[in-house]
Amino acid sequence: MDRIERLLGEMTLAEKLGQMTMVASGYAVTGPVIVGDSTESIRAGTLGNLLNMVGVGHVNEMQRLAVEESRLGIPLLIGLDIIHGHRTLFPIPLMQAAAFDAAAWERAAHEAATEACADGLALTFAPMLDVARDPRWGRSAEGAGEDPWLTARMAAAKVRGFQGASLDSAHALAACAKHFCAYGAMTAGRDYAAVDVSDRALREVYLPPFEAAVKAGVATLMPAFTDIAGVPMTAHRALLQGTLRGEWGFDGVVISDYNAIAELIRHGVAADLTDAAVLALKAGVDIDMMADAYRKGLPKALEQGRVTMAEIDTAVRRVLRLKQQLGLFDDPYRRGAQPEPTAVLAERHRFARAFAARCAVLLENRAKTLPLPANLQRLAVIGPLADADAEMRGPWWGAGEFAPHVGVLQGLRANLPGVELRHTVGVAVTGSEAGDDADDGKEDVQGGIALAAALCDDADAVILCLGESSTMSGEARCRAEPGLPGHQLELARAVIARAHTHGKRVVAILFSGRPLVIPWLAEQADAVLWAGFLGTEAGNALADLLVGRVSPSGRIAMTWPRSVGQIPLHYAQRSGGRPENPADHYTSQYLDMPNAPLYPFGHGLSYTHFSYANPRVTPQHVRRGDSCTARVEVTNDGACAARETVFLFIHDVVASVARPLLELKGAATVELEPGETRTVEIRVDAEALCFPGLDLRPTWEAGDVDVWLGPCADRMKLLKTTIQLQA
């Protein structure tokens, strides 16, 4: 009999339920305290999993209790949210997406896994695969943005990066695909709010990234807090048992979200904890994170005959199997056995810097404001996010709070040694934050702004660092007005007016975990560079871009609206019967603004200009099973080497179901020297041209499909060629 079956045979009910329970520990952060009676439970064998521990010493101490002092010696599974780095932080996922580079996504996950493993951890609650089309939602920061194709690519890359070739490696973390599913479609962009999406949207938009993670071998999955049409995901049998386990064959561990099983009561589908535990178990949730519903509710449910021991054993078996796959039974201390050599850390920081520079997006660059001229003598660096090293981390910093991070001012100091930098904050990030006026604890807004404007007078150029603080995005960080917070717009108006009076250029660097609604700034600043949150090396990477050592190449993975009223706004809209037409009143449009966004999906400038020519696709007559190759010639018409991302969108012209006007099916990046032309190739399998038909099954319909190639999701900037799908 194998180890798992033998253990199952020996385990008491309490021990089994312990394996199905995960609790948080404030151990390393707040001192040697684990919430409640956990230390005792670990010894008693009635707690099998922990989250939120930092520090290999503490991790090993807890592991020792489980392995040496509990009756059966089953090792603990210990997890943490390692979302965009552990100690070395990489750009937030929304910015990583902007690089359109699966190899870099994988590498960042692998580096994070290596650091986390050195801390003794074995599980991360990542990647987040929620397609996000509403910038009010703070968790937009955690995923790859609005597009299912892109999110699915990131899903596979992150799973490969975290898990590596084998889970039992000392550098591998079990990944967790979350939050299954359609969490990003919550009402009005408000976290945790109800979701009502069509089966078509599920099939086309929200499920594909999870299916990609399952195909890539993801070890665990987390249901979303939210419901779909009244069925909370934690109890969603059709999607968890039917689609996930049945259709896709996922046999890994399903871990509830934090306290989500107990929240079935608040949802109004369970009367008490026992009810909630029954619903979650029947839906196939194996581990109860933080609700303690399984330990408290399942003994009674079992007695009442509402669940069976076989159902409990199925969950326990999956948990034990994961621990075995992670190599925890053979050597529970394999992770964290060796500290990382300094050379590895230095190389990781080099990668973090280069990657961060690839993730920033140049939104505007009028009259070649950037790169900064080489003869610069004095630079005014203004704004609440200029000298804000810790803010560079972004919303999920893992164990990164213990590491130093490089802010803009620090980065400029290190990279522009001959330039005099003059800095003032101007205003606080949000108006409600404590300001500079120590007398009454309130911010002296007008004084701060006047000081900032005065700094422009004898500067050669102005860098204005604006946006959100790192904790204004992430979980439970929704904003009804996702513009510049506090008094920052006033600051920008004053600084830009003053600088322009003296003929000085203003570069705005924007920090945020979401697209910001900034129509005025976009028009008035001479250049706008979106940094999002770039992590540990942010300041160095931004300096590389500002001075032109690197040409920007990031592309937004989420549409930027010009007004909150346009939200939700994404590129993959369907035409409808009355598409926008300013000449025709009865068409789909606003009275007070165009439908077009401020920046479309894929937008992002560089320090050069690229032109496109000669788009073609072979074969032109496509049969199922074919592999198509699209080609387009791209020329760098400018004076510096740069990287261009080429997108391939399709539009199925006539189908049984109206199709989106553009659907992303491929992307490729190319680096071109000045004057160089190259033919960029993008391969697309014919199967990818199938779509959920009238019966929601993948269907292949003969007819014309337009293929659009070019730099972003704006038809005016794309070149079209048409292929024919054969019956």
Which tokens go with 569?
């706004």
Q: Which is nearer to ligand BGC, 135 or 395 (CB)?
A: 395
Longest dimension (CA), the chain: 82
The contact mask relative to ligand BGC for 163-192 (x = CB under 6 A, - = no) is ---------------x--------------
Q: Which of 125, 397, 511, 530 binds ligand BGC (CB under 6 A)?
A: 125
Least distance between ligand BGC and beta carbon 617 (Å): 40
Q: Which is nearer to ligand BGC, 192 or 248 (CB)?
A: 192
Q: Are 130 and 646 a contacting pair, CB within 8 Å?
A: no
Counting contacts by CB under 6 A, is residue 158 touching ligand BGC? Answer: no
Task: Specify the pairing of strand 527-530 against strand 505-511.
Answer: parallel
Counting contacts by CB under 6 A, is residue 130 touching ligand BGC? Answer: no
Q: Which of 714, 359, 711 is nearest to 559 (CA)?
A: 714
Region for 602 from its dihedrals, namely left if φ exceeds 0, alpha if ψ lies in -120 to 50, beta otherwise: left
Least distance between ligand BGC and beta carbon 327 (Å): 23
Site for ligand BGC in 250-269 (CB under 6 A): 257-258
How far is residue 540's CA from residue 343's CA, in Å, rounded to a whole number? Answer: 19
Least distance between ligand BGC and beta carbon 290 (Å): 8
> Under 8 Å CB-to-CB from 214, ≥6 apart: which residues?
177, 221, 244, 248, 249, 250
Q: Which is nearer to ligand BGC, 178 or 295 (CB)?
A: 178
Amino acid occupying residue 105: W
Q: Which is nearer to ligand BGC, 186 or 506 (CB)?
A: 186
How far is residue 313's CA from residue 298's CA, in Å, rounded to a whole number? Answer: 12
Least distance between ligand BGC and beta carbon 178 (Å): 6
Site for ligand BGC in 350-379 (CB under 6 A): none
Question: The sheet that has 220-223: what strands, in order across it?
Answer: 176-180, 220-223, 253-254
Q: Which is nearer to ligand BGC, 132 or 494 (CB)?
A: 132
Q: Which is nearer to ligand BGC, 155 or 463 (CB)?
A: 155
Which tokens go with 440?
């009454």
H-run or E-run covering 112: helix 102-118
Q: Which is nearer to ligand BGC, 116 or 672 (CB)?
A: 116
Least distance between ligand BGC and beta carbon 81 (Å): 5
Q: Which is nearer to ligand BGC, 224 or 428 (CB)?
A: 224
Q: For 100, what's the count of Cα atoms within 13 Å in the CB-facing half-sphere?
A: 28
Least distance between ligand BGC and beta carbon 726 (Å): 45
Q: Which of 525, 592, 586 is nearest to 366 (CA)?
A: 525
CA 283, distance to chain mean position in Å, is 27
Least distance between ligand BGC and beta carbon 483 (Å): 26
Counting contacts by CB under 6 A, is residue 475 touching ligand BGC? Answer: yes
Least distance between ligand BGC and beta carbon 395 (Å): 11
Least distance between ligand BGC and beta carbon 388 (Å): 25
Q: Are 289 and 259 a contacting pair, CB within 8 Å?
A: yes
Region for 182 from its dihedrals, namely left if φ exceeds 0, alpha if ψ lies in -120 to 50, beta otherwise: left
Which residue in the block uniquely carries the two structure tokens 């479609």? 185
Which residue in the block uniquely carries the two structure tokens 């029947």? 282
108 CB burial (10 A radius; 0-12, 13-18, 19+): buried
Q: Are 42 and 66 a contacting pair, CB within 8 Å?
A: yes
Site for ligand BGC in 56-115 (CB under 6 A): 81
78 CB burial (10 A radius; 0-12, 13-18, 19+): buried
Q: Which is nearer to ligand BGC, 257 or 544 (CB)?
A: 257
How far is residue 478's CA from residue 512's CA, in Å, rounded to a whole number? Answer: 12
How far is residue 173's CA from residue 113's CA, in Å, rounded to a whole number? Answer: 6
Q: Which is nearer to ligand BGC, 125 or 708 (CB)?
A: 125
Least distance between ligand BGC and beta carbon 54 (Å): 13
Report the residue closest to ligand BGC, judged by CB. 125
Least distance between ligand BGC and beta carbon 239 (Å): 18
H-run or E-run covering 388: none
Number of residues interacting with ligand BGC: please give it, by CB under 6 A: 7
What length does the chain have? 727
How crowded is residue 302: how many other Cβ atoms within 10 Å of its Cβ? 18
Q: Which is nearer to ligand BGC, 290 or 522 (CB)?
A: 290
Q: 16 to each of 10, 44, 261, 320, how far by Cα in Å?
A: 10, 12, 18, 10
How far is residue 238's CA from residue 223's CA, in Å, rounded to a whole number? Answer: 13
- Helix, strand and coil percent figures for the chain, each rounded to 5: 35, 20, 45
How far is residue 446's CA from residue 448's CA, in Å, rounded to a whole number? Answer: 5
Positions annotated as catalytic residues are 257
How far is residue 183's CA from residue 369's CA, in Å, rounded to a whole number? Answer: 40
Which tokens go with 137?
């939602």
Site for ligand BGC in 25-54 (CB under 6 A): 51
Which tokens go with 198?
């069509």
Q: Return the beta strands (E) in 156-295 as ranges.
A: 176-180, 220-223, 227-228, 231-232, 253-254, 288-289
Least distance between ligand BGC and beta carbon 89 (Å): 17
Q: For 87, what's the count of Cα atoms within 13 Å in the CB-facing half-sphere?
A: 18
Least distance between ligand BGC and beta carbon 75 (Å): 20
Q: Which of 104, 108, 148, 100 is nearest to 668 (CA)?
A: 100
How far is residue 350's CA from residue 404's CA, in Å, rounded to a whole number? Answer: 15
Q: Which is nearer to ligand BGC, 257 or 714 (CB)?
A: 257
Q: Which is nearer to ligand BGC, 137 or 649 (CB)?
A: 137
Which residues contact ligand BGC (rule: CB under 6 A)? 51, 81, 125, 178, 257-258, 475
